[in-house]
A and B are shown apart, each in its own frame.
Chain A
Amino acid sequence: MTQGFHQHSSPHLPVKASVRRVMLMVMAAMIPGAAAMIHYFGAGVLVNMLLAVATGLATEALMLKWRARPLQPFISDGSIVLTALLLALAMPPLVPWWIPVFGMAFATIMGKHLFGGLGYNPFNPAMLGYAMLLIAFPFEMTAWLPPTPGGLYSLAESLRYSFTGVLPDAASIDAVSQATVLDTLRTGIALKQSIEEIRAAHPAIYLGISGFGWAWINGLFLAGGLWLMWRRIIAWQIPLAMLATLAALALIFWLLNEQRYASPLFHLFSGAAMLGAFFIATDPVTASTTPRGRLIYGTGIGILVYVIRTWGGYPDSIAFAVLLMNMTAPTIDYFTQPRVFGEEKS
């Protein structure tokens, strides 16, 4: 056969990279941090993950069918699974089943497919789902378990709570749950307590640099993120700019009054700081895409995270910071084009 080749454009070399591979590597990098979360908060995290992934896949399939898009390449690209995992990791470990299901369905439909699916969504779908859940169901979305090595409840117990709302020993969720250390600090400061007083009032959770368990969770997400950076799956600019800004702001205020403002280390290693910096803010579709733009974008997220954490009314601020900066990404990109080869240095 010499005539009538299927004509296609250069380059003519075998392909190496794929969207699925990128997504799989990001998920692989999340494993240590996610494992730490399961370790400290129990099997409920796993239940949420399973529910979110199942909902995500089902909704994605439905939407693809409805939009008359090919099912196989899109359902298997890994993007919806990654979104589901991020959403599940962001929510408290013990929630009714409809929280991950509703949140994920919202994220997939409103956050992804109504904009045109993979690559076309302006907002991070997982964070959109999280923000909706937090606003709509503040009680369920702020009731965290105390970090307990090995987890407070078994898989069976977590499943039972998820579907029936019944806890072992007829305990009520109000009794066993509590706010995260970040949330506790925020509430305490709002009540004009000093950090010393807050620490003394919550000795079980306010341990170490950023609360019991959270330092490990963040440290392992950091490790996974550095690996992604080293493998060049994510660019260094966004995480670095975000964390550096967060730390710098925290340092300034901490030096001004260390009884009113938490330390930089506390900010870096509590809540979803590392998960946010390396796995959420770096979502390529919704983030800025130019080198300088990514620095600005990361800086913006860092500022918003600090401001909302310190003066805002939410338990953590990664989702809102990311969503707000998502809006600015196209404009940032337009005004931060790199200097083209041979262009006058200005």
Chain B
Amino acid sequence: MTRKLHHFHGGLHLEFHKSMSMAAAVERAPLPKELVLPLHQHIGEPAEPVVAVGDTVLKGQRIARATDYVSAPVHASTSGRVVAIEERPVPHPSGLSAPCIVIESDGEDRWCERRPVADYRKLDPSALRNRIRDAGIVGMGGAGFPSHIKLNPAQDHAIETLILNGAECEPYITCDARLMQERPREIIDGLKIMRHALHARQCLIGIEDNKPEAIAALREALTAEESTFIEICVIPTIYPAGGEKQLIKVLTGREIPRNSLPASMGIVCHNVGTAAAVYRAIVHGEPLVSRFVTVTGEACEQPRNLEVAIGTPVATLLDAAACRREAMAELILGGPMMGFQLPGEDVPVVKTSNCILALPQDHRRNGQPVMPCIRCGACADVCPACLLPQQLYWYSHARDMDRVQDHYLFDCIECGCCAYVCPSHIPLVHYFRFAKTEIWAREREKKKADLARRRHEFRLERLEREKREKEERQRRKKELLKQKQAGKDGEEDAKKAAIEAAMQRVRARREEQHAAAKNAAEPGAETPSTVETGRKQEEHGE
């Protein structure tokens, strides 16, 4: 049963330096006095503490909760006491600090109550996903995307193929290889749980052919029944065959379209370490509190793999690998191709940390002068995304961000192949990261400006409207006034006429009275008072 394998463009044959850390069996790293657990160890929203300083916690106890769908909880990686919730240096390229929960170990490493699932097959996939989510499992290959999301197939995309990524294509790193070699059963069982959650038809495990022990161990662990739906695929060792899209291409011959996820093609890809973590979460009820970490590099006298409690400082691991600090010129988290320099040894290991690399002086690239690009195109020859790094560099150097995007900057996976082969020693990946952040910043600026512009336009419109309404009101009022005026004039005329009429009546009566008085006595001053009252009423009307 051999699958037809495919090629991806470019890539590198590197010196892999894997044997140095491959030899020794994995041991538990010493438990430090103090563990630092960052709240943000994954892609998405940071977790929110649910413990307070002074609380005692047990190993596996949830200490921070997920705040969003794209988020993951954090669990205490040993038993002890919460001594601080504060900003500490975290492993991030920026070298900045971030909120962390600090636990002082009591040395007992006592588990909280674990709730294993007796038979995951009886569990509904969504209940399974919730458990995986509650166990704080994120992609352990380095990206740290919350795993429960990648185990939740969209309604319109049935998942056909579940791929486990055991390629481990970066030089020096061997933690996945050791994991496959030592715990193949956990990986296969984890894979079956994931398959259950996804209803995937077939499962592929992709492993580079430079890990014969891991391949043999997995093959041996696989039962005949399992091998009807799980296939172990040995792929050629070419960096970056472990890139998600590259691995999918190699195994299936299909390219994930630009700007879309593998799920859109019915494929889901998880790291082998994630599968093992899923196994422990479901079958043993243990949340993600430890992981395998490779501690290696020429500055280490005993390079090896360690099972490390999340939150253990890098210094502890370097000590465990007998790192000669005076020989160390660079301290890298991750592999040499995509990893980043750590600001110091006090940063903790997090869920996504796969390798601590202590490199000696002769590995430094920055002694070499950076020369202008001579457009030799060596970068384009090795680019696994089929980009033209020389053009991307040219335009990002000139800050022509439109042209940079015309050349598909955002398809760059930052694998570092281009920078590795560049004869001018240009830090190309650095330029591309810069260009990406620059474009993001401009988009944000643009959005902000758009918003400001819209707000301004709205304000102008509102002012205009208010002005119009005011004018309308005034106009109406004036009209009303005019009408009233006109109305009053008429009334007055009517009143005057009435008064006139009354006066005439009075006069007539007087004349009558006069005439009568001539005959009889004067009747009194009643009528003039009536006229007066009428006038008063008029005044009130004003």
Query: A residues 317-346 with Cβ under 8 Å of B?
Result: 333, 337-344
Query: A residues 1-46 with Cβ under 8 Å of B?
Result: 1-3, 5-19, 21-22
**Separation of A337 and B343 alpha carbons in the complex (Å):** 39
Top 5 A-B pairs, shortest CB-CB distance: A119-B372, A9-B430, A11-B416, A17-B423, A284-B376
Query: B residues 257-292 with Cβ under 8 Å of A?
Result: 257-258, 260
- Interface pair A289/B363, CB less than 8 Å apart: no
A residues at B contact (CB < 8 Å)? 1-3, 5-19, 21-22, 70, 73-74, 77, 79, 116-120, 232, 235, 284-285, 287, 289-291, 333, 337-344
* Residues in A whose Cβ lies below 8 Å from that of B384: 341
Say if the beta carbon of B322 comes within 8 Å of chain A: no
- Name the residue among B249, B258, B414 with the largest chain A CB count within 10 angstroms: B258
* Residues in B whose Cβ lies below 8 Å from that of A120: 372
**Separation of A285 and B424 alpha carbons in the complex (Å):** 12
* Residues in B whose Cβ lies below 8 Å from that of A15: 365, 368, 425
Query: B residues 319-353 with Cβ under 8 Å of A?
Result: 325, 329-332, 336-345
Contacts A9-B429, A15-B365, A289-B377 hold; do A340 and B372 have CB atoms under 8 A apart? no
Q: List 10 A-B contacts (CB under 8 A).
A: A8-B430, A13-B336, A18-B423, A119-B373, A119-B424, A235-B377, A337-B391, A339-B386, A341-B255, A342-B258
* Residues in A whose Cβ lies below 8 Å from that of B8: 341
Query: B residues 378-425 with Cβ under 8 Å of A?
Result: 378, 380-381, 384-388, 390-391, 407-408, 411, 414, 416, 419-425
- Name the residue among A9, A74, A287, A344 with the largest chain B CB count within 10 angstroms: A9
- Name the residue among A5, A338, A340, A341 with the largest chain B CB count within 10 angstroms: A341
Residue B423 contacts which of A19, A289, A340, A341 (CB distance < 8 angstroms)?
A19
Residue A2 contacts which of B331, B337, B385, B407 (CB distance < 8 angstroms)?
B331
- Interface pair A12/B336, CB less than 8 Å apart: yes
**Separation of A108 and B326 alpha carbons in the complex (Å):** 46
- Interface pair A12/B258, CB less than 8 Å apart: no
**Separation of A43 and B375 alpha carbons in the complex (Å):** 35
Shortest Cβ gap from B345 to chain A (Å): 5
Residue B375 contacts which of A285, A337, A338, A343 (CB distance < 8 angstroms)?
A285
* Residues in B whose Cβ lies below 8 Å from that of A6: 366
- Name the residue among A73, A116, A120, A337 with the largest chain B CB count within 10 angstroms: A337
B 90-130 to A, binary, CB cutoff 8 A, 1 in contact else 0: 00000100000000000000000000000000000000000
Shortest Cβ gap from A342 to chain B (Å): 4
Given A9-B433, A13-B336, A341-B8, list of 20 further CB < 8 A pairs?
A2-B315, A2-B344, A7-B95, A8-B366, A9-B429, A10-B340, A10-B414, A15-B425, A16-B421, A17-B423, A73-B371, A119-B373, A232-B381, A287-B375, A289-B388, A333-B391, A337-B408, A340-B408, A341-B386, A342-B256
B370 closest partner in A (C-beta): A73
- Interface pair A10/B337, CB less than 8 Å apart: yes
Main secondary structure of the interface of A (DSSP, over half): loop
- Name the residue among B342, B357, B372, B416 with the largest chain A CB count within 10 angstroms: B372
* Residues in A whose Cβ lies below 8 Å from that of B325: 1-2
Residue A5 contacts which of B249, B331, B375, B378 (CB distance < 8 angstroms)?
B331
**Separation of A70 and B411 alpha carbons in the complex (Å):** 35
**Separation of A6 and B366 alpha carbons in the complex (Å):** 9
- Interface pair A73/B369, CB less than 8 Å apart: yes
- Interface pair A341/B388, CB less than 8 Å apart: no
- Interface pair A8/B341, CB less than 8 Å apart: yes
Say if the beta carbon of B498 comes within 8 Å of chain A: no
**Separation of A1 and B341 alpha carbons in the complex (Å):** 14
**Separation of A18 and B367 alpha carbons in the complex (Å):** 13
B326 closest partner in A (C-beta): A1
**Separation of A77 and B260 alpha carbons in the complex (Å):** 43
* Residues in B whose Cβ lies below 8 Å from that of A339: 386
Say if the beta carbon of B460 comes within 8 Å of chain A: no
- Interface pair B407/A337, CB less than 8 Å apart: yes
Contacts A11-B337, A11-B416 hold; do A340 and B385 have CB atoms under 8 A apart? yes
B297 closest partner in A (C-beta): A12
**Separation of A291 and B378 alpha carbons in the complex (Å):** 11
- Interface pair A10/B429, CB less than 8 Å apart: yes
**Separation of A341 and B387 alpha carbons in the complex (Å):** 8
- Interface pair A19/B255, CB less than 8 Å apart: no
- Interface pair B376/A22, CB less than 8 Å apart: yes
Say if the beta carbon of B525 comes within 8 Å of chain A: no
A286 closest partner in B (C-beta): B375
- Interface pair B433/A13, CB less than 8 Å apart: no
* Residues in B whose Cβ lies below 8 Å from that of A285: 374-375
A74 closest partner in B (C-beta): B371
**Separation of A79 and B325 alpha carbons in the complex (Å):** 40
- Interface pair B423/A22, CB less than 8 Å apart: yes
* Residues in B whose Cβ lies below 8 Å from that of A343: 257-258, 408
Say if the beta carbon of B427 comes within 8 Å of chain A: yes
